[in-house]
Amino acid sequence: MMNLRFSSAWNLNRLLYRVKVDEGFLPLLAADMERYIKEYGLSEKEAAALCSLDPARILDAGGHPLFARYVLRLKAQYASNIYWTQV
Amino acid sequence: MGQLVAALGASHNPHLLMPVERWEEVFEVLSPAGVPEFVRHGETTDQARAAMEFSERALADLRKRLDAARADALVVIANDQGVNFFSFVPTFAVYVGRRHATGRFGPHVFDYACDWELAETILDEAMDRHFDVAFMEEIRLQHTQNVPLYYLLPPGAPGNIPILPVFVNTYMDPMPTAERCYAFGQMLRGAIARSGRRVAVLATGGLSHFPGSTRIGEIDEAFDRWAIGQMEAGRSGELAALSSKALKDSGNIELRNWITLLGVVGDARARIAYRPSLWAVTGLAYGHWDVASPDAGSR
């Protein structure tokens, strides 16, 4: 069953939320992911999922389906995808 | 006395503000594991274009109906998708701010005056009916509002009426039951009656789809057609009785927005245009209700 709660992985979802709504955060995260993993207090599993940039692993770590896909914005081949022109 | 002068429902699929030639590009980011082959190969560009043209025609018809209703305001019942609500997630919320509601979608800039007096009337009615509704002073419009508004109240068009954004939680568990959404809609109907306004109401979203899920691309067409049948027959109570599990299993969590609208219109009959589109990964639906009928608001 798809997890539709934020609270199961609150710190991970806090970070993913910022990836979705804060355009200025993307380059900061890309430049120093370790810093934000510490700042947001991600668990080992959450950190590994984030570093993988794999939405499936993000979901598995408790990321909300509304946010998980947004890690793909950090992959060069998807950076200019038309989907990101809206929220 | 206020009056309900139009009731409309429309999908808010982001594809509808993107060129069909780029719909395939969206496949890459829609799903954790990518969009399945049955979606990619299940439709052609021409079929996707036909779905787009179907939507454009249906939305143009809804715009004519909205214009003809000469409404003073358009209540927009939609869901948030992790844009306005995150650390606080209301079950129902009303935008009461006196500033314009704004947002962007690609090159399109959305900027609407909002009917804050109607918002305050809704809050008063809600409290009188024991609905503890949240209210918000700031808002960022998103595709759940912008996509249908692009067609119904085109950005920058002269004479656009004010809107009033109303939110129903359809994405963060726990979500309201269909029965509670319906009762919320009945409360809205009461607020409209005491508003002194000519009010139109729009519900957005749906029908069947599984955004962000490994089930992306599935469309429960049988469920969608059953739900449409109930709405066209004026049997709103059938949808108000749906379980949350039934909504989730059929990819119809956003049907809560439409069921809220059913609370507004009661047993009025709908006319709904429907076309499932694999490339849009959604059962696309556009409807209007006969709000002048004796059954409107009768439940």
Q: Chain B contacts of A21, Cβ < 8 Å? A: 82-83, 140
Which residue positions in chain B have pLDDT lower than 70?
Answer: 294, 297-299
Alpha-carbon distance B50 to B54, whole Å? 6
Residues of B with CB under 8 A from a CB of A: 14, 17-18, 22, 25-26, 28-33, 81-83, 86-87, 89, 103-106, 140, 142-143, 146, 171-173, 175, 211-214
User: Is B194 strand, coil or helix?
Assistant: coil
Alpha-carbon distance A72 to B28, whole Å? 9
Residue pair B288/B62 in contact (Cβ under 8 Å)? The answer is yes
Interval A74-85 mean pLDDT: 92
Residue pair B219/B209 in contact (Cβ under 8 Å)? The answer is yes
Residue pair B104/A86 in contact (Cβ under 8 Å)? The answer is yes
With CA atoms as reference, the chain B residue closest to A74 would be B29
What is the distance in angstroms between the Cα of B25 and the nearest Cα belonging to chain A? Answer: 7
What is the distance in angstroms between the Cα of B27 and the nearest Cα belonging to chain A? Answer: 9
Interface of A with B in 12-71 (CB under 8 A): 13-14, 17, 20-21, 54-56, 58-59, 64-69
Residue pair B2/B194 in contact (Cβ under 8 Å)? The answer is yes
Q: Chain B contacts of A77, Cβ < 8 Å? A: 28
**Cβ contact, residue pair B33, A56, below 8 Å:** yes
What is the distance in angstroms between the Cα of A65 and the nearest Cα belonging to chain B? Answer: 5
**Cβ contact, residue pair A59, B81, below 8 Å:** no
For residue B212, give the nearest of A6, A17, A66 by CB distance: A66
Phi first, then psi, for residue A76 (nearest 5°) are -55, -40
Q: Chain A contacts of B31, Cβ < 8 Å? A: 55, 69
Q: Chain B contacts of A58, Cβ < 8 Å? A: 32
Q: What is the pLDDT of residue B299?
A: 56
What is the distance in angstroms between the Cα of A78 and the nearest Cα belonging to chain B? Answer: 8
What is the distance in angstroms between the Cα of B283 and the nearest Cα belonging to chain A? Answer: 19
With CA atoms as reference, the chain A residue closest to B17 would be A86
**Cβ contact, residue pair B86, A6, below 8 Å:** yes
**Cβ contact, residue pair B32, A78, below 8 Å:** no
Q: What is the pLDDT of residue B31?
A: 77
Range of the structural domain that residue A22 is part of: 4-85
Helix B143-152 with B45-69: angle, nearest 10 deg: 70
- Over residues B17-28, the pLDDT tens digits come to 999 999 988 888
Beta bridge partners of B271: B288
More confident call, A2 vs B274? B274
**Cβ contact, residue pair B32, A87, below 8 Å:** no
**Cβ contact, residue pair B173, A5, below 8 Å:** yes
Residue pair B84/B97 in contact (Cβ under 8 Å)? The answer is no
What is the fold of B3-289?
Protocatechuate 4,5-dioxygenase; Chain B (3.40.830)
Task: Give chain A's domain count.
Answer: 1
Q: Which residues, other chains included, contact B158 with Cβ-Cβ below 8 Å and sequence gap of 6+?
A: none
ipTM: 0.91
**Cβ contact, residue pair B146, A86, below 8 Å:** yes
Percent of chain B predicted with pLDDT > 70:
98
